[in-house]
Amino acid sequence: MVKYNHMVSVFMLVYNQEQLIEQTIESILNQKTNFPFNLVIGEDCSIDRTKEILEKYKKKLSSQIKIITSSQNVGLINNFIRTVNQCDGKYIAICDGDDFWTDENKLQMQVDFLESNPDYSIVFTRKRDLLPDGKISIYQAVSPVVSSFSDLVKRNYIPSVTALFRNKVQGQLPLKWLNKYPYGDWVLYLYTVNNGSKIKFMDTITATYRKNIGVSAKIRQSASQVVLDNLNILKDLYNDSIFKNNRPLIKKSILEHEVDYMKRLNDERKFLKAFIMFFCLLANINPIKLTRQYLFSIKKQLL
């Protein structure tokens, strides 16, 4: 039996967020719960006052806040991995340093659900998007109320700032290939429900996501590159023995991502790369259906 030090570890990545970090931390500390939770912060050598602000909170709440840092910048994904490995709660929640929670009962509501439903491993909600100009849009989740690995392997529909999930990592995320990619939340969710457990969507708003700012916005890639990264993630999942029972589902998603990649290349007018992808796919996909998709994606760009 694994012994957890807290019911929940709130997982937070921060870098150069001195103007936002206090609002984020306060939104977490304001949670009303009947259980202990801690805040595990991956601080990636900020060059502003972020670390100073974190140390102020650490001084006041030494037993509740853990800061993971180093003498030099390690990058987003390595910061992600080292921070999640330090989470010692039975459950893990995510709230990055530029986002914040808006429902003070978020953790209690989600923990109550997972405690009462052992066949579920992840619960998430809707969110608000806060745009750089101050406008707010309501994120319309396109996801089933109950889902599983077979749904999630197709695409990541879980807003990380709203998620709570069982701690299957327990000090050591075993996916050694993860540091090749610019993000890790989708893989972490897939790892969590790899055993056949379910995902619950709660139709309520619990958090605000600051859109188009922060580290993730600065490294944002083209649409085709995002699909290619996801495609390569799926290939590593397929080759990892941890996911061997789900290989048929992963293989199906790989083919779907390859078709999507072909279409995205055409969208970006990278016609030669798209044609090569089309030619490679002919052996694995119905040629009539594939040709229609290929020609339609070209036609959109030539009209």
Of 126, 142, 123, 247, the closest CA to residue 197 belongs to 123
Judge if 192 and 249 occupy the same domain.
Answer: no
Judge if 182 and 296 occupy the same domain.
Answer: no
Q: Mean of the pLDDT values across residues 52-69? A: 95
> Looking at residue 220, what is its pLDDT?
54
The pTM for the full model equals 0.93
Which residues, listed in sequence order, are joined to residue 9 by a DSSP beta bridge? 38, 92
Q: Is residue 1 part of a domain?
A: no
- The end-to-end CA distance of the chain, in Å, is 62
> Looking at residue 138, what is its pLDDT?
78
Q: Mean of the pLDDT values across residues 179-194? A: 96
Judge if 125 and 146 occupy the same domain.
Answer: yes
Q: Which of 165, 188, 213 is the last residue of a domain?
A: 213
Q: What amino acid is encoded at 155 in this protein? A: R
Residue 165 has pLDDT above 70, yes or no: yes
Strands 37-43 and 6-14, by their bridges, are: parallel
Q: Is residue 83 part of a domain?
A: yes
Judge if 174 and 40 occupy the same domain.
Answer: yes
Q: Are 39 and 12 within 8 A, CB to CB?
A: yes
Q: Give CA–CA dist 62/87, Å, rounded.
A: 15
Q: Which of 213, 240, 275 is the last residue of a domain?
A: 213
Considering its fold, how many domains does the chain have in total? 2
Give the CB-side neighbour count of residue 122, counting CA atoms within 13 A: 33
Q: Is residue 218 part of a domain?
A: no
- 165: containing domain: 6-213
Residue 54 is part of a domain; what is its CATH number? Answer: 3.90.550.10
Judge if 193 and 89 occupy the same domain.
Answer: yes
